[in-house]
Amino acid sequence: MTTTRFTIETTGREGRAIRLSVAGRLDATTAPRLLERCHAVEAAGMDLVLDLSLVSFISSSGVGALMILSDRFHDRCQSFLLEPVSPPVRAILELLNLSASFSGGAPPAAGVR
Amino acid sequence: MTPRDAVAALPPDTAPEPLALRPMAREHYSLHALADLSRRLWDARDLHDVAEALVLSLMGQVGTPQAAVWIDNPDHPGDPVMLRCHGIPRPLAAELAAAVWRLMAERGAGDEAPLTPDELRAAIGDPALRLAREARVALFAPLATGGEPRGLLALGYPRDRWDYVPLELEAIESSLFIAGVALRAARLHGQVAESRRILQRSHDDLAELDRMKSEFIGEVAGELRTPLTALLGALESCSASPAGREGSRHALLAAMEGARSLSTQIERVLRFSGARHDRPAVRLGEHDLAAFVRAYATERRPGLSSRLRELKLVGSAEARRARFDPVRLTHVLDELLDHALRISPAGATVHLRMSDITSEGRTWRALSIQDEGMGAPDRHPETLFQAFRPHHGLSKASGAGTGLAAAQELVEAMGGRLAATSLEHVGTCFTVTLPLAGEARP
């Protein structure tokens, strides 16, 4: 079994929105890195689109990190979206009935790709 | 044929689906969560890391945006310290903890099941119940190991419903057991690491003092030998010569000369000793300041964490070459961080920040230590560096008074500057600036 190395890369930027692409396992070890990276975006006052299409596994800690980010961006009136998500991530979000929490409304900047 | 070969030999449409793609049952998800948390915590050595891992895991286990963790404060029993809080306004969370802490801490061994605010209503009263509802807290749970209370957890409602299923409560309780053990281990580790660090510093200081003492004795002996020999020779001559007045006078004059010389040498030695004491010796070299600070933060974090203060390192990991003495800079940072520890309340965060600044027409490497203490009431933070003048908010018994002055002297001996800015009720920020590598000492 091969394991993709956990990475976070900036893959798009337009106006006040930024797209970060995450790859690998999003678990208790890597979730704090995602939080740290996204807090920098939050502190810069930007909207965030997280591309989780290359996330091979998401644990409860990864979901917890998404909950924190969603709440914090919402509190600061900044948009936070997951788009797109990989099948393993989608399965977990559906299991927890959280799909709607991260995909409501139009993306902050449709051109962010 | 190995199982892997057997799978590879299957036609594509009959190949088993990867585990992560199979629809996962709630039970499996809970099991994954416990395994994930255990893996994260097995080598966690910092109380704040343990608390962070616990809230992330639990928020994800049940899908709630609200969670907070408090820990007991050994210095002030009954006054818990908040380690992590997400989704609950901090003042509200603090009020809630004050209302619930004693009740949860007094529950006996084996009574660690989570409780809803309604179940606590009789004990905490309606005002606390209203606070819990305002904070959207669905349950409280003690964080205990072996029946000994360690902390408290508050968890919000799942996004999709208003209650928890029994399996979730079981998983939460198990997570708390795992985290309770990790918290105890982290606290012990922090205390041991801090004791070892202090012991090592004392050992280094004693070794340095011992070296200086040997050097000093050697210098003294060498300097005193010559005049003493002359003095002894003159006195011997005086005692052995016939009692002629002229011979004795010459011998006594020689003895006086020797004594004067001896006195001069002693004065020189004393001046030398005083000068060495007044101006610290530094061994300057060119080093990577970023690597030095990262190693220093790693060394200090467990000790601060065990005292319920969090040390956060801010700044990119890129190399920053600078000119400094690592031993002396360690002394300076020890003094500044110990000061921040004394001045900041439990639960506070101390930021250690690396940056480059421009001053006096040149670029400097800068290290800032920002505390969350009382701050200085006057507008003259430079008074902080005056010897025997303790910082506002510290009693004289705290020992503060000369350490900051000594730290400033050390930084200046390295060709740098140590300055402070302070805002009352906000905190104090000490900034050490050091010359870049390759720059001549001013």
Coil, strand, or helix at residue B153? strand
Partner residues linked to B355 by β-bridges: B366
Q: pLDDT tens, B284-339?
A: 899 999 999 999 999 899 889 988 999 999 887 788 899 999 989 999 999 999 98
Q: Which residue of B has its CA nearest to A26?
A: B36
Q: pLDDT tens, B145-182?
A: 766 667 899 999 998 788 888 889 999 999 999 999 99
Neighbours of B222 (CB within 10 A): 10
Which residue did the predictor score with more confidence, B185 or B11?
B185
Which residue did the predictor score with more confidence, A51 or B4?
A51
Q: How much is the average pLDDT of B4-26?
A: 54
The secondary structure of B407-428 as a DSSP string is HHHHHHHTT-EEEEEEETTTEE
Residue B154: name the closest of B124, B185, B184 by CA. B124
Q: pLDDT tens, B84-115?
A: 999 999 999 999 998 888 877 776 556 778 88
Looking at residue B75, the DSSP 8-state letter turns out to be T
Which residue did the predictor score with more confidence, B425 or B30?
B30
Q: pLDDT tens, A44-101?
A: 999 999 999 999 999 999 999 999 999 999 999 999 999 899 999 999 999 998 988 8
**Segment holding B187, helix H or strand E:** helix B166-240
Minimal CA separation from B64 to chain A, in Å: 7
Among B6-20, B93-107, B191-205, B333-347, which stretch is predicted with the lowest mean pLDDT? B6-20
Query: Is residue B16 scored above 50 in pLDDT?
Result: no
**pLDDT for B275:** 53
Residue B185 · residue B302 · CB < 8 Å = no
CA distance linking residue B291 with residue A50, whole number of Å: 31
**pLDDT for B274:** 57
Residue B36: name the closest of A5, A31, A22, A87 by CA. A31
**How does residue B19 score in pLDDT terms, banded at 50, 70 and 90?**
very low
**pLDDT for B17:** 45
Which residue did the predictor score with more confidence, B361 or B244?
B361
Torsion of CA B114, B190, B290, B203, to 10 degrees: 180
Structure-token match 């996004």, residue found = B159
Coil, strand, or helix at residue B82? strand
Q: Which residue of A has its CA nearest to B89?
A: A75
Partner residues linked to B427 by β-bridges: B423
Looking at beta carbons, which residues of chain B come within 8 Å of A56?
20
Looking at beta carbons, which residues of chain B come within 8 Å of A62?
60
Query: Is residue B7 scored above 60 in pLDDT?
Result: no
Looking at residue B384, the DSSP 8-state letter turns out to be G
Query: Is residue B413 scored above 60 in pLDDT?
Result: yes
Mutate to test the interface with A, among B30, B59, B61, B155 (most CBs of A within 10 A): B59
Mutate to test the interface with B, among A29, A39, A67, A92 (most CBs of B within 10 A): A67
Residue B143: name the closest of B111, B179, B186 by CA. B179
Provide CB contacts within 8 A for B48, sequence distance 6+.
B83, B84, B305, B310
* Contact between B57 and A64 using a beta-carbon 8 Å cutoff: yes
CA distance linking residue B316 with residue B305, whole number of Å: 22
Average pLDDT over chain B reads: 81
Minimal CA separation from A14 to chain B, in Å: 25
**pLDDT for B243:** 58
CA distance linking residue A35 with residue A41, whole number of Å: 10
Residue B84: name the closest of B52, B59, B112 by CA. B52
* Contact between A67 and B39 using a beta-carbon 8 Å cutoff: no
Coil, strand, or helix at residue B211? helix
Residue B67 · residue B153 · CB < 8 Å = yes
3-state secondary structure labels for all residues of chain A: CCCCCCEEEEEEEECCEEEEEEEEEECCCCHHHHHHHHHHHHHCCCEEEEEEEEEEEECHHHHHHHHHHHHHHHHCCCCEEEEEECHHHHHHHHHCCCHHHHHCCCCCCCCCC
Looking at beta carbons, which residues of chain B come within 8 Å of A63?
59-61, 63
Torsion of CA B335, B336, B338, B339, to 10 degrees: 110
**pLDDT for A107:** 41
Tell me the CA distances in angstroms from B301 to A29, B173, B194, B316, B350, one per residue in order: 19, 28, 9, 18, 10
**pLDDT for B233:** 77
Length of chain B: 442
CA distance linking residue B153 with residue B320, whole number of Å: 41
Tell me the CA distances in angstroms from B340 to B49, B346, B370, B394, one per residue in order: 21, 11, 8, 11
Pull the structure tokens for residue B119: 């179940």
Q: Which residue of A has its CA nearest to B20?
A: A88
**pLDDT for A69:** 95
Query: Is residue B261 scored above 80 in pLDDT?
Result: no
* Contact between A61 and B40 using a beta-carbon 8 Å cutoff: yes
CA distance linking residue B218 with residue B324, whole number of Å: 29
Query: Is residue B15 scored above 50 in pLDDT?
Result: no
Q: pLDDT tens, A9-42?
A: 999 898 899 999 999 999 999 999 999 999 999 9
A28, A63, A101 member nearest B39 (Cβ): A28
A56, A60, A101 member nearest B159 (Cβ): A101
Q: What angle do CA B387, B399, B300 make, to 5 degrees?
A: 105
CA distance linking residue B60 with residue A92, whole number of Å: 10
CA distance linking residue B268 with residue B110, whole number of Å: 73
Q: Sign (positive/negative) of CA torsion A26, B138, B129, B136?
A: positive
Which residue did the predictor score with more confidence, B279 or B259?
B259
**Taking the model in full, what pTM does it have?**
0.74
Query: Is residue B56 scored above 90 in pLDDT?
Result: yes
Q: Sign (positive/negative) of CA torsion B388, B389, B394, B400?
A: negative
Provide CB contacts within 8 A for B138, sequence distance 6+.
B64, B116, B117, B155, B156, B157, B158, B162, B163, B164
Query: Is residue B269 scored above 70 in pLDDT?
Result: no
Residue B344 · residue B350 · CB < 8 Å = yes
CA distance linking residue B299 with residue B291, whole number of Å: 12
Average pLDDT over chain A reads: 87
Torsion of CA B188, B192, B194, B195, to 10 degrees: 140
In this complex, how many residue pairs, one in chain A and one in chain B, have their CB atoms less than 8 Å apart? Answer: 99
